Amino acid sequence: MRVEIWSDIACPWCYVGKARFEKALAAFPHRAGVEVVHRSFELDPGRAKGDVQPVLAMLTAKYGMSEAQAHAGEDNLGAQAAAEGLDYRTRGRDHGSTFDMHRLLHLAKERGRQEALLDALYRANFADERSVFGDDERLVELAVAAGLDADAARDVLADPTAYADEVRADEDEAARLGATGVPFFVLDRAYGVSGAQPAEVFARALTQAWGERTPLKLVDDGGAEACGPDGCAVPGAENPR
């Protein structure tokens, strides 16, 4: 079974939701049979690379919150993160474009390091003091920490077209599936779970999706020869060779 997760590094609920999903997945009896794929989604796709601002300023401007409301929201997110064992800085973070991070995540996917890089980016954005925005070398450091080659990461960051189509394809697919926000979880293209749901909700979704998988329906092959564990059928022979 495949679980696809659309998320954005700038999304605090994606950070929390990933931890809750992983808690459910770790306890799932069929964990070994579940493939997890992370897909791109930008909450602020039109933001220029150099346009970086404090999170609280972004919240008050974009959502019309008062400064007190923005502070309260961050405090609540900090508490939710702490409940999942995650570090979260409620003050002093900033916000910017995540497009380059998503491009690096596609490189990491090719190299088998996607999960490691995503975790590194989340920790850096939500827990570390040093910003992840507007500094390519910071992203290179995180890529290397996740097991990627520094020069390969620099090459991607230096070429704005590298993996850009892959990022846009993920975002287009999210729109086709009806995702208007993240995190968005799709189980075997049959079930969707929106938001940072409790681990119990993810556990029920995994169980339901696993139990309702549709067996493959075979078209009548008319007795055509085939190979199996015991060998290959040979026309006219008594036993397979």
pLDDT in tens, 114-162: 999 999 999 999 999 999 999 999 999 999 999 999 999 999 999 999 9
Contacts of 200 (CB under 8 A, 6+ apart): 24
Residue 229 is predicted with a pLDDT of 58
Neighbours of 79 (CB within 10 A): 11
Residue 9 is predicted with a pLDDT of 98
Residue 238 is predicted with a pLDDT of 57
Mean pLDDT of 174-182: 95
Contacts of 71 (CB under 8 A, 6+ apart): 56, 90
186-218 core/surface letters (b: 16 or more CB in 10 A; e: else): bbbeeeebbebbebebbbebbeebbeeeeeeee
Confidence of residue 237 (pLDDT cuts 50, 70, 90): low
What are 19-40's pLDDT values in tens digits? Answer: 999 999 999 999 999 999 999 9
C-alpha 164/C-alpha 136 separation (Å) is 16
What are the start-end ranges of the H helices in the chain? 12-27, 55-63, 67-83, 99-110, 114-126, 136-145, 150-158, 164-176, 199-211
Residue 222 is predicted with a pLDDT of 59
Q: How far apart, in Å, do the first and last CA atoms of the chain sit?
A: 34
H or E stretch including 187? strand 184-187
Higher pLDDT, 215 or 96: 96
Residue 32 DSSP code:
G
Confidence of residue 230 (pLDDT cuts 50, 70, 90): low
C-alpha 79/C-alpha 199 separation (Å) is 16
- State residue 161 phi and psi, 5-degree precision: -90, -15
- Mean predicted lDDT score pLDDT of the chain: 93
pLDDT over 90 at 233, yes or no: no
C-alpha 124/C-alpha 137 separation (Å) is 13
User: Rounded to the nearest 10 degrees, what angle do helices 67-83 and 55-63 cross at?
Assistant: 120
H or E stretch including 216? none
C-alpha 129/C-alpha 34 separation (Å) is 35
Mean pLDDT of 212-232: 65
Mean pLDDT of 84-110: 97
Confidence of residue 213 (pLDDT cuts 50, 70, 90): confident
pLDDT over 70 at 56, yes or no: yes
C-alpha 110/C-alpha 104 separation (Å) is 10
pLDDT over 80 at 192, yes or no: yes
